[in-house]
Amino acid sequence: MESRTIVITGASDGIGAAAARILKADGAEVVLVGRSPDKTGRLAQELDVPFHLADYTDLDQVRRLAADLDATYSRIDVLANNAGAIMGERTVTTDGFEKTFQVNHLAGFLLTHLLMPKLVASNAAVIQTASRAAKVFSAFDINDLQNEKNYAPQSAYGNAKLANILFTRELHRRFVDQGISAAAFHPGVVASNFASDTTHFMRFAYHTPVLKNLFTISSDKGAAPLVWLATGAPGSDWKRGEYYEKKKPVQSVPQAHDDALAYRLWEASESMLHIAG
């Protein structure tokens, strides 16, 4: 493949690490972003690629990450917003936001916003790792983005994954004419360290050997749609602004296709982050 600079967040493990290995082998200039210094550094050494650290529970670290990426790389051809997690009990970050919403949506939204001039100049693809959890678990309320009412780990996670899809939809509407190609995808139920930080039943499902072997797929298989989107030609190999499962655009919950809701989420996210529209 033609050498392109591909930034992958959540790259120290799971599908992020698997995608990094595949893309590096294909000749891409891969840039890793992870939370763990040890795991991210080891993978960077293995692949002989640069890495950056950021904990998405601290938005100042996201701001520093954006500044470092902007200063270090002349172009960014693909931004893969892959970082995310399901949490346990409801907690609020030092930034004042519910942790699930911040880690899965707000941090990636902020990073994309801060890098937008470079992304536009690079005619970049912005890829969101969403999930079928948006369809299975979400109870999305635009007036309760902080998940203050009837909090449960799975619904907060489902809401955040629906936010990823809505973000993709509105990103496409606002920036496709400036050269940005946006897409979201479901990787499948992947055998990884996902759900290791939660007390939710998903931890049991993902980390019990018998269930793990029955219901999960490998990280390489989970990374396949990310690699496909990152290496494909937008508008030819895949359609911009869509949500994909098994490399096909699919329907999620009706709210995921609500343009007015996508607009309201974008405006609310800007307001929370004190970003001028």
Give catalytic residues, as residue numbers. Answer: 157
CA-wise closest residue to 171 among 119, 131, 222? 119
CB 243 within 8 A of CB 185: yes
CA-wise closest residue to 85 among 176, 202, 245, 171? 202
Query: What is the chain's Cα-based Rg?
Result: 17
Show the tokens assigned to 6: 């591909």
Show the tokens assigned to 159: 């809401």
CA-wise closest residue to 31 among 3, 2, 56? 3
Specify the pairing of strand 51-53 against strand 29-34: parallel
Q: Residue 235 burial (CB < 10 Å; 0-12/13-18/19+)?
A: exposed
**Distance between CA atoms of 37 and 53, rounded to whole angstroms?**
7
**Distance between CA atoms of 125 and 264, rounded to whole angstroms?**
23
**Distance between CA atoms of 132 and 102, rounded to whole angstroms?**
19
Amino acid code (one letter) for 131: S
How many alpha carbons fall within 13 Å on the CB side of residue 241? 14
Phi, psi of 80 (to 5 degrees): -100, 100
What is the three-class DSSP state of 80?
A: strand
CA-wise closest residue to 56 among 17, 16, 85? 85
